[in-house]
Amino acid sequence: MNPFRLFTWFAALLRSPLPAPRKIHLRLFLPIGLFLLTLICSLGWGWEHAVVHAQSPAADAPVTSPDAGIDKGPAPPQSSGEAAAKDPDVSDAAKKGGVVEPLAAGQYVLEFNRSPVVGNRLRLRSIYDETRLRFTRPRAWKPKSAKLQIRFRHSPALYATRSNLTAYVNGASVGSLPLNKKQGEIGSAIFDIPPDLIQDYNEVVLAALQNNSPTCTQDPFDPSLWTEILPDSKLVFNFQPQPIALNFSHYPFPIFDNLSLEPNQLAFLLPNAVDESWLTATTRFQTSLGRFAQYRPMNTRLLTAIDETKPNERLVIIGTPKTQPALAKLTLPLSLKEGQLRDEQQKVLPNDVGVVMLTTTADKRNPVLVATGNSPEGVAKAVQFLIQSRDRQLGTGQAIVVRQVNDVPPRPSREWAGYLPTASNFQLKDLTTFDNKPYEDMTVRGADAPVMEFDFRALPDDQFSTGNVLNLNYSYSPQVNPLTSLVEVQLDGLALTGKKLDSVTGGSHETLRVVLPEDRIKPNSKIRVRFQLDPRERRSCNRALDQQLWGTVHADTSFELNRTNVARLPDLKLLQFGFPFTAPQDLSKMAIVLPDAPTTNDLALLLEVSARLGRLSQSESVKLDVFQASKLPTQDRGNRHLIAIGTRDRFPLPEALRSEGFTIQEAFRRQRGQSQLQTLPDAEGLVKEIVSPWNRDRALLILSGQTKTGLDHVRDLLNRDFLFFQLREDTVLIDAGEPSPNPYDPNAYTLEFLQQAKQKQQISEMSLLSRILKTLRIGWFIIAPGFIIAALLLYAIAQSYLGRLHKKG
């Protein structure tokens, strides 16, 4: 409808004569109606134009397809490049280096025995039991089909028509089967899983209903009620890799995928000259990746050329265009001319400006992260942007110019995320879960309720005295059997105390006072609360009866702790928690020392150490420094905890190798006390902690060996959890029985632990006055009577002396 014709028609209508009674009202109504109709017509024309415009392809449309994540059913086979070519926006961005092209479609087999929950078998007991296995889906995988293959065996006492096994995936049932096999016979079943059920985080639940009677199973704890899931059961799914859009809003993806089913593969490109600025920036970046990884495996290696990159590897390039000339061979979002980075106006960026970019290799198969600048200062600023979460969260797009990064203020040395608060009195809600959320009220249900567990991790230098108390606040439901129902508290599996649930009407916010033994609270401790809930009236064959029973632990459960912070070093067991090198958590009081002109083995071990330090610490920033031997400042040598890396002949701090106890010397000689011997060859790695020769309040960690093979073994020790968490004493010798040991076989390595230090040094962050005041505050009930007794003794001695003087006078 044309609004101009409508306006002419209404104008003629206004000029026509109207009846007198209605003339005023209509002449008021018609202008208002004219305005409203004109507005509606204009809006309708604009809406139609907007719809037509939206249907045409836009030049700045997002890279991700609007159908991403929607399964449209089976598609005809296509090559890895065709998927991106069909979307004009994705292919357009790919030409500019903004998309990583997908690899060919594949199949992934996830066997149950990879989960530590399964081990050699997974057993289901009682009338009803279930077990849960969790797995992730890598971010760039789109499932095409999925199958769950179960191999099992069960008790021959099970009654087939009343016993079955059911599988659930993310809450949806995918199949069920009867438990009707003969004795010793192994059953097998395959369940199809709809691809749209597969999410980023997935859970497989296997539930068994087991009865040994055609009518009613009287004893739910009969040992004949069992079913075993064999460890060769597996989950198989076919997937189609998707194009990966390069955007810092998803960082650390695609450089690090926390949903990956395999170890993340990273490669660092070596610069043409290794200096301290590159060492420090690269080590800080690797530490931040370790914090992203946490418990997830990650493999790192060093490259001398970009074309050495393998499939599924992520390439990281850190350095200026002069130290990393390979940057000129990449398609970068910003211009690089004459060895200098330039902005959109082709002006040279200032030296104090950092640049971070995402691009791809020449074949567009591997994502590349570039942290660069026109000077080492700019490179350091770019890396610091990637490290600090408060700044990194602002990032988006494919390239970021970092002009200013705020310095994160230092945190107290004893403020560690995930550990106990430093206050003497705190509550359960002050502790955090594994995903850094505060604990809330927790409730369990049923007669066979699961145990409630929470971390109770003391700081590594915490020394507890008597008087540690847990005030457990709990509630429970009515209709419990007061004779057999109870609540129990355990510390690391040790039962501390229990209390009957003796009210048939239930309990609300009752308190149980539990004394915590001072010698049992460790940096990896866990407290478990178990409710044994039995119904007052037990009916046969009625499982639903016990679901009315519940127990709750409240978040205002409180703790009272008496402790001082004193650690005795050297002790490699404390290194399992990063102490003392991760105090404070930003690593500002430690440094790593390398030989002058470090080798590739030295650098590989440096990256592994920094990744492990990242796994063991949580902070807003990373402030550790890396020095070469000849450039280590005297002040840092005495004021920092040090980690020294290198073979014996190139060790950066040779005086440390002459410390007491076990030492490695020239010509493959070893010495321990007065004993000396020579070994040919000596391929063992050495991990040794000593008190720093330059400061008795600091520690020095030695990572060494006679050969580069020894350094590789030390690197394996730091990379593999099943080796690292065996550390103890103050000296460890590690060797492998074969040149390329199986990374998943704990028996492939030999560890020998030695205690060399004759006397340990006490290290504490508290001042002398603070120690005295805390001792007085904790031990007042002993010190006060002591003062009184001492005063009485002095009074008696003084009176006796005065009496003797009086007699002589």
- Report pLDDT for 673: 53
Decide if 78 is inside a domain: no
> What secondary structure does DSSP assign to 419-443, as a single string?
S--SSSEEEGGGSB-TTS-B---EE
Task: Say whether both 178 and 295 belong to one domain.
Answer: no
Does residue 227 register a pLDDT over 70?
yes
Task: State whether 689 and 795 are in the same domain.
Answer: no
Residues 441 and 463 in one domain: yes
Q: Which residues lie closer than 8 Å to 663 by C-beta, 6 or more apart? A: 657, 670, 671, 672
- What domain range includes position 304? 244-402
pLDDT tens-digit profile of 375-425? Answer: 999 999 999 999 998 899 889 999 999 999 988 988 889 999 999 999 999
Go through 112-129 and write b for each residue having 16 or more CB atoms within 10 A of its CB, e for each that does not: beeeeebeeebebbbbbb
- 200 and 278 belong to one structural domain: no
CATH number reported for the structural domain that contains residue 167 in this entry? 2.60.120.260
Which residue in the block uniquely carries the two structure tokens 């594949």? 106
How many domains are there within the chain? Answer: 6
pLDDT at position 626 is 97
Q: How far, CA to CA in Å, does 263 sit from each of 245, 295, 325, 444?
A: 21, 11, 29, 35
Residue 413 falls inside a structural domain: no
Q: What is the pLDDT of residues 300-334, one digit of tens each?
A: 999 999 999 998 899 999 999 999 999 999 999 99
Residue (of 602, 601, 594, 607) closest to 266 by Cα position: 607
Task: Say if residue 776's pLDDT is above 50.
Answer: yes
The answer as to whether 658 is a domain residue is yes
The answer to which of 77-86, 627-636, 763-772 has the lowest mean pLDDT is 77-86
| Residue 685: closest CA among 661, 712, 720 | 712
Residue 31 has pLDDT above 70, yes or no: no
Amino acid identity of residue 485, one-letter, is: S
Q: Please check whether residues 303 and 397 belong to one and the same domain.
A: yes
Answer yes or no: do 443 and 310 share one domain: no
Assess whether 118 and 194 both reside in one domain.
Answer: yes
Confidence of residue 773 (pLDDT cuts 50, 70, 90): low
Mean pLDDT of 454-463: 94
> In this structure, are strands 526-532 and 550-553 parallel, antiparallel, or unpaired?
unpaired
pLDDT in tens, 744-768: 788 899 999 998 888 888 887 655 5
Q: Tokens 């009210």 correspond to what residue?
A: 503
Query: What is d(CA 87, CA 243) in angstroms, rounded to the nearest whole number?
Result: 10
Q: Is residue 160 part of a domain?
A: yes
Report the C-alpha gap between 709 and 482 in whole angstroms.
64
**Is 549 a domain residue?**
yes
Which of 241, 274, 308 is the last residue in one of the domains?
241
Average pLDDT, the chain: 83
- Checking if the pLDDT of 283 tops 70, the result is yes
Q: What CATH number is given to the structural domain containing 308?
A: 3.30.379.10
The pLDDT score that the predictor gives to residue 790 is 82
pLDDT of residue 759: 80
Q: CB–CB of 752/733 below 8 Å?
A: yes
Higher pLDDT: 331 or 215? It is 331
Question: Hey, which residues does 234 pair with through a beta bridge?
Answer: 111, 149
331 shares its domain with 225: no
Is 73 part of any domain? no
Domain co-membership, 549 together with 616: no
Q: Same structural domain for residues 229 and 251?
A: no
pLDDT attached to residue 188: 94
pLDDT attached to residue 771: 55
Instruction: Tell me whether residue 75 is in a domain.
Output: no
pLDDT of residue 36: 47
Query: 687 near 754, Cβ under 8 Å?
Result: no
Task: Examine residue 733 and state whether it is found in any structural domain, yes or no.
Answer: yes
Residues 578 and 553 in one domain: no
Residue 717 pLDDT level (bands cut at 50, 70, 90): very high
User: 39 versus 145: which is more confidently predicted?
Assistant: 145
pLDDT one-digit tens code per residue, 727-749: 999 999 999 878 788 877 888 99
User: Which has the higher per-residue pLDDT, 257 or 779?
Assistant: 257
- Do 172 and 197 form a contact (C-beta atoms < 8 A)? yes
- Of the ranges 58-67, 134-143, 217-226, 535-544, which is most confident? 134-143
Decide which of 177, 208, 241 is a domain's last residue.
241
Q: What is the DSSP string of 509-572?
A: EEEEEEEPPTTT--TT-EEEEEEE--BSS--TT-GGGGGG-EEEE-TT-EEE--EEE-EEES-T
pLDDT of residue 475: 97
Report whether pLDDT(492) > 60: yes
* Whole-number pLDDT of residue 777: 56
Q: Identify the band that residue 534 occupies on the pLDDT scale cut at 50, 70 and 90.
A: confident
Residue 386 in 3-state DSSP? helix
Q: Is the pLDDT of residue 635 over 60?
A: yes
One domain for residues 581 and 530 = no
